[in-house]
Amino acid sequence: MADLASRITKPEGAEAETAPAQETTGTVEDAQTDGAGQILGGSGLQDVNYDVEVSLNEIQRDQQNPLGSAHTFQELGLPNEVLNGLMAMSFQKPSKVQEKALPLMLADPPMNMIAQSQSGTGKTAAFVTTILSRIDFTKPEQPQALVLAPSRELARQIQGVVQTIGQFCGNLVVEAAIPGNIARDSRVKASVVTGTPGTVMDLIRRRQFDVSQLKVLVIDEADNMLDLQGLGEQCARVKNMLPPTIQILLFSATFPDVVLRYATNFAPQANQIKLKVQELTVRGISQMFMDCPSEVEKYSILCSLYGLMNIGSSIIFVKTRESASEIQKRMEADGHKVTALHGAFEGSSRDALLDEFRQGRSKVLITTNVLARGIDVSSVSMVINYDVPMKGPGEREADPETYLHRIGRTGRFGRVGVSITFIYDKKSYEALQYIAAKYDIDLIRLVPDDWDNTEKKVQRVIKSSRAQAGFNPSART
C-alpha cells in the first residue's frame, strides 16, 4: 500500500510532491494488482453487515426494551398488513440498521431516534415500517406522519416506498408535498405526507395542511436538512408548527459532529445509532480515481471509458448545470442515450427524466448534487465524479459527505459497484486525498494511457454487479 501522493502522476501545473504530509495518508491499492477482485464475492449479494454503536437514552436504559434487536421482521410484532408488505418486497431479514433501530422506534411510549447507517442499507424501509405501524387507517385523509427530504425526487421515491410497503394497508393515502403537486385551493388529504421543507412550510402556513394529529416526523438526509447554512431554518420552522409530543426520527449516512450536536437538540432524548468513521464507506464499492493529465482531456477520457466498456446504468456527477448539459450534448453526439437532470428543469420534467433513467430507457444520468442523496436505482453499477465534490465559499474545501452520498448511488444493499473520481490538478488531487484520508479509503488508481488495465479492473466489477441484478429477485430499476 502506498499513499495517494506517491501513486499519482504529477498533474499539469500541480506540485504533487509538495502536498502537505498530513493530507497524504489515504492509501491506494497497488496499480499492478487487480484491486477489484479482492472485493468481489460470487454472484450473490454481500452481507450488509457492519458494526453500529447504539446509545440508549435514559428511559430506554431503565426500561430494558423487550424486543432488544430483532433478527427477523416477524419478531417485531408489526401489524400483519405491514409484515405482508415487507414480504411482498422479498425482504427476507432486516439489515443491521433495521434490526437495531426498529425495536427502539416501535417502543411505546414513542421515543426519538437519530440513526446513521451507510448508503443503501435500508434506512427508508426502517422509518416507513415505523410510520405504517403507527397510522390509524380509519382516518385515511387525516395527516398522521410527515417525512421531509431534500429533493422532490427523494420525496417522490419515499412516497413510492410507503405505498409499496403499505400495499396491504387498506385505506392508505400517501401524498407528496412537492412544488406543483397540491393546488392552492385544496387541502392535504393523506395519512402520510412526504415532502420538501419549503413546500410543507407553505402548506401549513396557508392552512392547507392540518398538522394537529401528526404523530411521527421523519427527517431523511438529516445532516443536510438540519444544516443551518442550507435547509436547517426551514426544517426548524416546520417542527415548531407541529405538536410538541411528535416522535422525531432523524436518518442519514453521514452526521458530521457539528450537525450531530444540533440534531440532539432537535430530537431531544433520542436513542442513537452511529457508525465509526472507518465504517462509513460501503465495502462493495470499488473506489477508483482517474489520473487525468488536464481538465480539457477529462471529456475524451470519459468518452473512452464509455466507448470501451459495456457499463449498464451509471451516474455522472458534475459541478454545474452548464457542464451537465454540455456533456450530455457531446455524449449524445457520440451516440449515447443520456439523460441530464438538474435544478434548472421544471418539476414535472424532472420527474419524467428520472423515470426515464429508473426504467432503463436511458442508461447514463448526468446530474449535479441535486441527486447526490437518497436516490435508489439498484441497477446503477458505476458512479463517476467528473468533478470532485467541493464545498464552502468559492468551493475551496473538499466535501467528504457529498462524496460518500454520491458514490453510494451504486453498491445498494450488498451489491457491488464501482466509483471513479476524475482528478487533474493540484486542487482536485488534494481534495481527493483529504477524502481518502478521512474515511481511510484504499483508492485504486487508473491512468488514461493504460486502457487494458482500466478495462479489466472496471469491467470485472460491472460484470459482477450485473450478475447480482439477475440473481436478486427483489432487484428493481
Question: Where along the sequence are the contacts to ligand ATP (CB under 6 A)?
Answer: 91, 94-95, 98, 117, 119-125, 253, 374, 376, 378, 408, 412-413, 474, 476
Q: Which residues contact 387 (CB under 8 A, 6 or more apart)?
A: 317, 318, 319, 323, 422, 428
What CA–CA distance (Å, rounded) separates 156 from 364? 21
- Give the residue carrying C-alpha cell 459532529: 257
Q: What's the closest the beta carbon of residue 376 comes to ligand ATP, in angstroms?
A: 4
Considering the complex, state which of residue 117 and residue 313 has its C-beta at the smaller distance from ligand ATP: 117
Nearer to ligand ATP, 150 or 197 (CB): 150
Strand-pairing partners, residue 382, are 314, 418
CB of 120 to ligand ATP, least distance (A): 4
Shortest Cβ 240–ligand ATP spacing (Å) = 26
Shortest distance, CB of residue 329 to ligand ATP, whole angstroms? 29
Q: Which is nearer to ligand ATP, 371 or 446 (CB)?
A: 371
CB of 255 to ligand ATP, least distance (A): 12
Cβ neighbourhood burial of 345 (10 Å; 0-12, 13-18, 19+): middle
Q: Which is nearer to ligand ATP, 121 or 428 (CB)?
A: 121
Q: What is the closest distance, in whole angstroms, from the C-beta atom of residue 378 to ligand ATP in the complex?
A: 5
Least separation in angstroms between CB 370 and ligand ATP: 14
Contact assessment for residue 316 and residue 367, using Cβ atoms and an 8 Å cutoff: yes
In terms of Cβ atoms closer than 10 Å to its own Cβ (0-12, 13-18, 19+), residue 242 is: middle
Q: Which residues pair with 279 in a beta bridge?
A: none
C-alpha dihedral sign at 238, 240, 245, 251 = positive
User: Treating both helix axes as pointing N-terminal to C-terminal, what angle do 80-88 and 123-134 enclose, rounded to 10 degrees?
Assistant: 150
The least distance separating ligand ATP from the CB of residue 89, rounded to whole angstroms, comes to: 6
Residue closer to ligand ATP by CB (options 22, 80) is: 80
CA nearest neighbour of 475 among 381, 349, 403, 364: 381
Sign of the torsion formed by the C-alpha atoms of 257, 262, 264 and 266? negative
Q: Whose grid coordinates read 442523496?
A: 373
**Shortest separation between residue 410's beta carbon and ligand ATP, angstroms:** 10
Residue ranges of alpha helices (H) inside 359-425 are 400-407
What is the spatial distance between Cα 171 and Cα 145, in angstroms, rounded to a whole number?
A: 15
> Omega of the bond prior to 109 within 30 degrees of 0, cis?
yes
Task: Report the alpha-carbon angle 216-152-48, nearest 5.
Answer: 65
Beta carbon nearer to ligand ATP, 154 or 446: 154
Q: Which is nearer to ligand ATP, 19 or 280 (CB)?
A: 280
C-beta of 3 vs 279, nearer to ligand ATP? 279
Q: Is residue 333 a contact partner of residue 303, using CB atoms and an 8 Å limit?
A: no
- What is the closest distance, in whole angstroms, from the C-beta atom of residue 372 to ligand ATP in the complex? 9
- Comparing CB distances to ligand ATP, the nearer of 144 and 378 is 378
Q: Residue 121 or residue 339: which is nearer to ligand ATP going by CB?
A: 121
